[in-house]
Amino acid sequence: MWKTALLTLLAVIFVWGCSNDNGTDPMGNNDGNPNSNGNDGPTGDMPNIGNGNVTLGATPCEGGMASVYPCDGYDLLFQMNLAAFNGNSGNDIWGWTDTTTNREYAVVGLDNGTAFVDITDAGAPVYLGKLMTATTAILWRDVKVYGDYALIVSEAPNHGMQVFDLKRLRNVANPPEVFTADARYTGIGNAHNLVINEENAFAYIVGTARNDAFNGGVHFIDIQNPSSPSAAGGYGANGYTHDAQVVTYNGPDADYTGREIFIGANEDQIAIVDVTDKSNPVEIETLTYSDLGYTHQGWFTEDQRYFLLGDELDELQIGVNSKTLVFDFLDLDNPVLHTTYEGPTGAIDHNGYVLGDEFFLANYAAGIRVLDISDIANQNITEKAFFDTYPANNTAGFDGVWSVYPYFESGKILVNDTASGLFVLQKSN
């Protein structure tokens, strides 16, 4: 009985924390915060943004360990812990490659802002500076990159979406600097997440206040001019959206070729919506599954045939090992569960991204897990590598890896740990 009560309490705390719907007016433009631009503290003093010291340098994975971190197949290039950025917790992470200079940068989400690190020379990374939160510090922040701009949302009340011109990182005279945003979209207040369809120059902000115009669903934001984002409607017929992927569809269902398709992780269902016409989004299908805890996040295979979904509460509530559900989207009007992958630990799965025949899974206490999905059509998925940034345990909890970015051409992998900060990895030779 007490175990059931404890699990119920934990689930309630999680859902509050994951959504953190504060009910504030999402259209408010005045946050009333003297530090709204992030350049000074309440007394006008410059904030402490850390010194960017490297916590641990290059450490190969040998005998199943890289220093204190269990590993298989990936070496540590370097680690910068939270103190390096004067952060209290880590969250989302993304990367930017400057196509003019070919330099690589980590864009690191923190509770109190966003840090920028030049990782081109992993032996001598440079912490360039930090963009402070637009309003208050909070656990949840999400960042994505469109072209040469970082777009940042947060669950902080009245935060809106910050826009930062990443080209400014080319000429930082005295790092680390305190940065200010180049623009701030205030057509929303708090938001849990955002995703971008780069082909169509639209950002999709999700997880806003549940009492807003789109029920906490999705806001369509035109970012053709990133420094001047503009509202273009939204969709909320399926309720609150926690995370999503949006693609210009080129998958096996010819009925939707060239259409812009939204796949939302909507707490208790997956919502598939045609959002090509922003003034008239059309639901294609919704689906659910057994042993549902909290429909959290998913990602297409590159051929857009299969959709890999993580449920963030099934491990905690049901007691299963880390589980990835694979749906067959051969027919978008009739998607079906194709197979289920169960990992080797009880850790909670969080964000996962596909690159080629690999699925990079942020697996909280079990670190980053790399799955071979080359034979996914035959329901064969196997773990091929891992790097565990949280060696204390592999149990169901919310410590460890929040997110991972695997898309640098150099092969560097970015990992952001809630308690241990930024890790940059590379495949072992």
386 closest CA partner among 420, 345, 354 = 345
Residue 17 has pLDDT above 70, yes or no: no
* Whether the Cβ atoms of residue 111 and residue 89 lie closer than 8 Å to each other: yes
pLDDT digits (tens, 9 = 90+) for 330-345: 999 999 999 999 999 9
CATH class of 2-427: mainly beta
Three-class SS of residue 147?
Answer: coil
pLDDT digits (tens, 9 = 90+) for 105-162: 999 999 999 999 999 999 999 999 999 999 999 999 999 999 999 999 999 999 999 9
pLDDT band at 44 (very low <50, low <70, confident <90, very high): low
Question: So what's the pLDDT on residue 45?
Answer: 75
Sequence letter at residue 134: A
Residue 424 has pLDDT above 80, yes or no: yes
Residue 8 has pLDDT above 80, yes or no: no
- Angle made by CA atoms 283, 285, 287, in degrees to the nearest 5: 135
The residues with which 93 forms a beta bridge, in sequence order, are: 108
368 closest CA partner among 342, 333, 394, 329 = 394
Tell me the mean pLDDT in the region 233-256: 98
- Angle made by CA atoms 406, 247, 303, in degrees to the nearest 5: 70
Question: So what's the pLDDT on residue 30?
Answer: 26
Tell me the mean pLDDT in the region 52-57: 98
pLDDT band at 11 (very low <50, low <70, confident <90, very high): very low
pLDDT digits (tens, 9 = 90+) for 341-388: 999 999 999 999 999 999 999 999 999 999 999 999 999 999 999 999
| pLDDT mean across residues, the chain | 91
Query: pLDDT exceeding 70 applies to what percent of the chain?
Result: 90
d(CA 146, CA 20): 26
Query: pLDDT exceeding 90 applies to what percent of the chain?
Result: 89
